[in-house]
Every structure is written in C-alpha cells, then in structure tokens.
Amino acid sequence: MEENLRALLTAVREGSLDVEEALRRLGEAGFVELGFACLDTGRAERRGFPEVIFCPGKTPDQVAELFSRLAVSNPNLLATRATRRVYRAVQQAVPEAEYSPTARLAYLWRERPVQPRGMVLVVSAGTADLPVAEEAALTAEVMGSRVERLYDVGVAGLHRLLGRLDRLRQARVLVVVAGMEGALASVVGGLVARPVIAVPTSVGYGASFRGLAALLTMLNSCAAGVAVVNIDNGFGAGYLASLINRLGD
C-alpha cells in the first residue's frame, strides 16, 4: 500500500496528477479499501499462510474458481468442510490439489518448511473425535508446522496419557480435542507448561447437548494456560496453533 500511496503522491508532486483527480481516485476506490486490500494482498506474503476457503454454502464450481485463483500466487491453500464432490471440482481446476476425507479438507501443499523446529501436538480423547483432530492437524501442517498426533488417550484410561509425558512436554503448543465430558483438556493443561488450545467436539450422548458439555468443561478448566475454540472447530485450533508455533521459530 505504501508503494501505491507513494506513487500517487509522487504523481501529484510531479504534476502528472492534479489534486482533484487524486482526490477522486482516493474517494472512488475508497482510500481505506485500497489500504486494506493492499494489506490483504500482502498478508499471505508476510505470513506465509494461505487464504482459507470455507466451503459450506458455496457451489463446487465457486470453490474451484476461488481455489484456482488463489493457487496462482499461493503455494499452499486450504478449503475447509469440503465434500468429495467439492474436491472433484477443485481437482479439475488445480490437479495438484489433495484431499483428506477424514479432515474434510481440500488443500494444496506445495511448499513445506525445510526444518520446522517447534512441534504442534494434537491430542484426542476418542476415536470419534478423529475428524476434528485431523482437521486441526492437517491445517497446522499445511500452514507450515511440524505436527505430531496422540490419539485415543481419554482420561478414562489415564495411563495411556501419562505414558507419553515426554511427547506432551516436547510440544511447543498443544491442541486437545475431546467430546463427551471434555476433561482431557484440564488434565493435559495441568501436565505441561505450553499453550493448550482446547476443541470441544459434538461427540457424546444425551446431556452432552451436541458439544455444550465439553465446551463448558473446557472453558471452566482449573488448569491455567488453556483457551477454547468453537465446537468441532478443528480448523480454528490448527490455525491458531500454527500462529503460536511460528512465534518460536
């Protein structure tokens, strides 16, 4: 944006652009808009993060078009909650695009960090939490993090978790995915000195109220250092974990 502004101001200075015309351009396009659009364009560059397409409510063709446009200037790319049908449209437009049916992610992963140092550990309580956990893990990977997975370590069998304390403590940031009563987040939070992103899932029966029980559990965690994202929002957790992880590189 600064460049655009400089060019415009220079043209005014040099007399190749008169004040009223400059004013009109700024007004027409919207100065603010120009500014933010500029930042927007610059965002992927500075962050090294791909733009993310949220698929629900878009047709396969719309997703494919957005995907192929973004693919021009972004090595990595994510489309979340993608059905297989959406993926087929994407793939036709961008043959390199990959797909994880478990994580419901269509993605482009052309650029991988040579040597990422920090590790994001995705921990999940039960097998039914897998789709959400994978969405978190793959999101973080495509965004450049090294990710490890520690699945099916719910608190009903605490030894499975306690037996991997080392791995828990090697992580730079942890994503904890759990449904039902969601107690895993508190237990993990009490064992490590790193940020924990908790993801409640809608897995559960009766009074789990589609994830509300796990959500409340996690928000009320007695262990400090835990924050929560929306129910089933694996993408949000993976995205945030990656933002945090890169701070350490």
120-159 binders of a copy of itself (CB under 8 A)? 125-128, 130, 154-159
Per-residue 3-state assignment (H helix, E strand, C coil) for the chain: CHHHHHHHHHHHHCCCCCHHHHHHHHHHHCHHHHHHHHHHHHHHHHHCCCCEEECCCCCHHHHHHHHHHHHHHCCEEEEECCCHHHHHHHHHHCCCCEEECCCCEEEEECCCCCCCCCEEEEEECCHHHHHHHHHHHHHHHHCCCEEEEECCCCHHHHHHHHCCHHHHHHCCEEEEEECCCCCHHHHHHHHCCCCEEEEECCCCCHHHHHHHHHHHHHHCCCCCCEEECCCCCHHHHHHHHHHHHHHCC
For a copy of itself, give the closer residue by CB, 87 or 194.
Answer: 194
Print the binding letters for residues 168-207 with a copy of itself: x by CB under 8 A, - otherwise. Answer: ----xx------xxxx--xx-xxx-xxx-x--x-xxxxxx
Structure tokens at 217: 């559990």
Structure tokens at 194: 């790193």
For a copy of itself, which residue of 50, 60, 116, 236 counts as binding (CB under 8 A)? 236
For a copy of itself, give the closer residue by CB, 62 or 68.
Answer: 62
**Choices 82-90, 91-99, 104-112, 228-236; region in contact with a copy of itself by CB under 8 A:** 228-236
- CB 140 to a copy of itself: min, Å: 12
**Choices 68-76, 87-95, 100-108, 216-224; region in contact with a copy of itself by CB under 8 A:** 216-224
For a copy of itself, give the closer residue by CB, 93 or 128.
Answer: 128
Site for a copy of itself in 58-77 (CB under 8 A): 58, 62
- CB 95 to a copy of itself: min, Å: 25
Site size for a copy of itself (CB under 8 A): 112
Site for a copy of itself in 76-115 (CB under 8 A): none
**Choices 16-24, 68-76, 88-96, 103-111; region in contact with a copy of itself by CB under 8 A:** 16-24
CA–CA distance, 118 with 247 (Å, rounded to integer): 9
| Contact status: 227 vs a copy of itself (CB under 8 A) | yes
| Contact status: 16 vs a copy of itself (CB under 8 A) | no
